[in-house]
Amino acid sequence: MSTVSPPGSTPDPVPGTYTFQLPHDPRAPGIARAALRSVLEAYGWAELGDTAALLATELLTNAHRHTAGSYALSIGPGAMDAHRLRVAVWDGDPKVPPGFGRCLPSADVAAEGGRGLFLVRAYADDWGAYALPAPASGKLLWAECGGPSVTPRGTPGS
């Protein structure tokens, strides 16, 4: 069952941080994507819906396909810019996919898969990955989208 964690009692930069714990179920990425769109709509960030859903889909699908356990989607403000949206996926495998950093090997255009990270790089304003040290274990892959042209409802200037 998926759970939602509302933002803390002190106001975070918009849109707050939500974390969805997902079981290893083939329906989980779609459920998480629907929840992502609901959060964006609630905070007035619906214009980022398509891009954020694409980024989340690629990261969630990789977590589902390449790990055996549960995984989580986090949605929150960008690390350096509150007008960006950060989509992050945690899973229990500490191995970061080859090329997820700044140097990505070429993709086989005839292959049925293997182009997800290229899509992340093409549509994200920034992206990254890191293995989590013990005792947390696993890894976090993240991508950010949005920018100065996006002003969520409830922020100065909206």
Q: What's the CATH number where 125 sits? A: 3.30.565.10
Q: Is residue 151 part of a domain?
A: no
Q: Is residue 51 part of a domain?
A: yes
Count CB-CB contacts under 10 A for residue 21.
16
Rounded CA separation 70/84 (Å):
27
Average pLDDT over residues 89-101: 84
Measured CA distances, 110 to 50, 113, 117 (Å): 25, 9, 16
Average pLDDT along the chain:
80
Cβ 33 vs Cβ 60: under 8 Å: yes
- When divided into structural domains, the chain yields a total of 1
Per the model's pLDDT, the better-predicted residue between 140 and 134 turns out to be: 140
Q: Is residue 2 part of a domain?
A: no
pLDDT at res. 122: 86
Look at the pTM and tell me if it is higher than 0.85. Answer: no
What DSSP letter does each residue of 27-75 carry, written as one string? Answer: THHHHHHHHHHHHHHHTT-GGGHHHHHHHHHHHHHHHHHH-SS-EEEEE
Write out the residue range of the structural domain in which residue 65 sits: 18-146
